[in-house]
Amino acid sequence: MRGTTVLAGGPCAASREGEPPVHRLDLSLPGQVPFAAGGFDAMGPMSRAAFPHRHTFYEIVHVVGGSGAHVLDLERYEVRPPQLGVILPGQVHHWEGVRGLEGSLVLFTPEFLVGGGGDEGLLRRLGERPWVGLDDAAHERTSLLMAELAEEYRCGADGFAGVLRSLLHVLLVRAARLPGAPARPAPPQGVAGEFLRLAGRAGADGLSVRECAVRLGVSPGHLAEAVRAATGRTPAALLREARTREAQRLLFSTELSVRQVAARVGFADPAYFCRFFRRETGRSPGDFRKHHDLRGPSIEDGSPAA
């Protein structure tokens, strides 16, 4: 394939000891597009990975057959085809107890998106409801688009990258129209949009608002004004949310000690981390890990099971 991925059997990118492995789009030649599309079998056995891992890229999965569950961050979703799933960069996921899993995947980096910040805004919306059931009409439309993406990618004819970007944009727009999708806010642009992209990484790196401002080349005051105008929230609140989410992922999907988790999300003092975590979630880290059982109830078609 023109742009292979670790799903085809290559090595994973290095991750910190004790953390879930990181999968990446691995382009073997200069000029190859950061994109891949095809069926589960074409992507290789790692496309059905049963162990927690995360990506540096986006993944859209169209499930057309099989049973089992898909575990994404802190939720388990029952496999009941046909369904559409979205995995964002940095999220931890795996397949659990799947049998006969069939469908197709589209993998791409943020740089590949034709709509830039607009398409990233659509993906953030889809990530709020990452697992949805499809009616017959939506399933047929999605099947056609996924097949076109895979065929265009496989053939690599003149101008194929532009066609892939256009088809992907159509897929994202139509997915965002599905019943139950979150209301569409105006996607943040400029400094606010750049901060939101950085915030996810900053959650794991423990960056402060001031450090984020330096990386973005603006003053902390300007950053605060831009982010509040675009989101209604402060940069500090969004960074706290990102750090809490990353801590939850590590507590949920690894055997790292609370002290190690604290260090991974930027807290030198484990006691302060425990106070922070309890304030943000209402539970201590140990209590969260103890009671967030992977064997809990599944979520079907994006809605709580009856």
Per-residue pLDDT tens over the stretch 45-103: 889 999 999 988 999 999 999 999 999 998 999 999 999 999 999 899 999 999 999 99
State the pLDDT at residue 7: 39
What would the pLDDT profile of 211-236 be if each residue is shown by its tens digit?
999 999 999 999 999 999 988 999 99
Of the spans 10-14, 176-180, 242-246, which averages the highest pLDDT?
Answer: 242-246
Taking the C-alpha atoms of residue 2 and residue 8, their distance in angstroms, rounded to an integer, is 12
Taking the C-alpha atoms of residue 183 and residue 181, their distance in angstroms, rounded to an integer, is 7
Q: Which alpha helices (H) appear in 28-159, and where do they start and end?
A: 40-43, 117-128, 136-155
Task: Compute the C-alpha angle 105/175/163, nearest 5°.
Answer: 60
SS3 content of the chain, % helix, strand, coil (to 5): 45, 20, 35
Which one, of 200, 252, 245, lies nearest residue 71 by Cα?
252
Q: Does the pLDDT of residue 202 top 80, yes or no? A: no
Global pTM reads 0.79
